[in-house]
Amino acid sequence: MATASPGQQPALNTIPATMRAAVYRGINDVRVETVPVPAIGPGEVLVRIYSCGICGTDLKKIHTGSHSAPRIFGHEMAGVIAAVGANVRGWQVGDRVMAFHHIPCGACYYCRKKTFAQCEVYKRVGCTAGFEPAGGGFAEYIRVMDWIVERGMIRIPEDVPFEQAIWIEPVNTCLKAVRNLQIASDETVLVIGQGPIGILLAALAQRTGAKVLTSDLFAERHRVAAEFGLQYAIDASRDDVIAAAKAHSEGRGADVVMVAVAGKSLIRTAMDAARPGGRVMLFAHTQHEEAIFDPAAVCMDEKALLGSYSASVEIQQEGVQLVLQGYHSGFDLTRLISHSFPLEKAAEAIEFASQPRPDSLKIALLP
């Protein structure tokens, strides 16, 4: 894995008129093209991207055609401010930053109810590399719009690498899910799937003091999870996950089950692995489609089926500190980046990320 040293980045030269970007042109069609560097207006900044993770939601959009083309995806991004617009306060060229691509209005009905991801302003994407705003991190430069600059841009310390900072948004989403579950220290938690998000969910759940079980098909992923202190691994390629959850909980089943894999069949597995009165959290099911579960498990067995999507501004600062301070205190998330690709090989990187292997976790682009 190639990474930039903490506190180091290429010198900022004169901003070019054009840049390279991975442009989504249609279903399974991403091409590295030369496009204009986005212009910024008052209150906005231009950020030179140095690292961007490839998220599972990016892959779903590319493979399903759920979003119109052309677009430039990528939202787990970090870089350096290359230009500032008029009226920008508190930021200057050369500052190392990450930017959330969604930030809510803070005043609407959904914001008052703290369901921030349903706010209409939140649903507007505030970062773009051109075309319809879609994050833009799969490019050399992004334009960060004014409401994001004001409330959703984070300063990265010199001693924290960009490859750590790209986890600020994903960690927020996972921390939100864990908080919504209100996990108690005497509970047993099962996390199905030990990709990078599953490992994050499990590691954060473990901080509550609960007993955390992890399930995955690949021993290699369990080995990485063990580096984050996760001790109770279930080999889903040979072991009965439901039986294992019951064995670890005096026969009851897990108090909490989190599903970090999008497979529909795993919803039933999760419901069966949860005890009567337990909670099941769907985290990876971000596409609308039909799925089947036993309704009596919700009604008679009183199992709660929950969902959690995207980030929360309510825990924004807590998540930021967890990532930035964690780099030096045992929460080094660069360990979850298994492969890095240059921007010119973005199509190859996306294809690689779409075909998970035992030794693959987070795939990152280094524009």
CA–CA separation, 367 and 361 (whole Å): 19
- What pLDDT digit, counting tens, does each position of 252-276 carry? 999 999 999 998 899 999 999 999 9
**pLDDT digits over 280-329, tens only?**
999 998 888 888 889 999 999 999 999 999 999 999 999 999 999 999 99
Provide the residue ranges of all domains of the chain, joining segments of one domain with +.
18-161+327-366, 173-307
pLDDT grade for 12, boundaries at 50, 70 and 90: low
CA distance 9 to 161: 10
Task: Give pLDDT, residue 108.
Answer: 98
Please give the full DSSP string across 138-170, using - where no structure is assigned.
SBSEEEEPHHHHHHSEEEPPTTS-HHHHTTHHH
Nearest to 286 by CA among 117, 68, 108: 117
Residue 34 identity (one-letter amino acid): T
Q: What is the mean pLDDT of the chain?
A: 95
CA distance 163 to 52: 8
pLDDT in tens, 182-218: 999 999 999 999 999 999 999 999 999 999 999 999 9
**CATH number among 3.20.20.210, 3.90.180.10, 3.60.20.10, 3.40.120.10, domain 18-161+327-366:** 3.90.180.10
Q: Domain 173-307 in CATH: superfamily?
A: NAD(P)-binding Rossmann-like Domain (3.40.50.720)
Assess whether pLDDT exceeds 70 at residue 227. yes
**Residue 154 pairs with which residues in a beta bridge?**
98
**CA 81 – CA 149 distance, rounded (Å):** 11
Give the strands of the sheet with 254-259, arranged side by side: 232-235, 211-216, 188-192, 254-259, 274-282, 304-307
Give the CA distances from residue 179 to residues 21, 64, 169, 262, 337, in Å, rounded to whole numbers and listed in that order: 36, 31, 15, 21, 25
Q: What is the pTM of this model?
A: 0.94
C-alpha span between 363 and 307 (Å, rounded) = 25
The pLDDT-based confidence of 2 (bands split at 50, 70, 90) is very low
Closest CA to 272 of 306, 237, 303: 303
Residue 10: pLDDT above 80? no
Residue type, 155: R
Token pair in block for residue 309: 């999507």
pLDDT greater than 90 at residue 7: no
Within 10 angstroms of residue 120's Cβ, the number of other Cβ atoms is: 11
Q: Where are the beta strands (DSSP E) in the chain?
A: 18-26, 29-36, 45-53, 76-84, 96-99, 127-128, 141-144, 153-155, 188-192, 211-216, 232-235, 254-259, 274-282, 304-307, 337-342, 362-366
Q: How far apart are CA 317 and CA 22, in angstroms?
A: 31
Is the Cβ–Cβ distance between 268 and 242 less than 8 Å?
no
Could you tell me the pLDDT band of residue 4, with boundaries at 50, 70 and 90?
very low
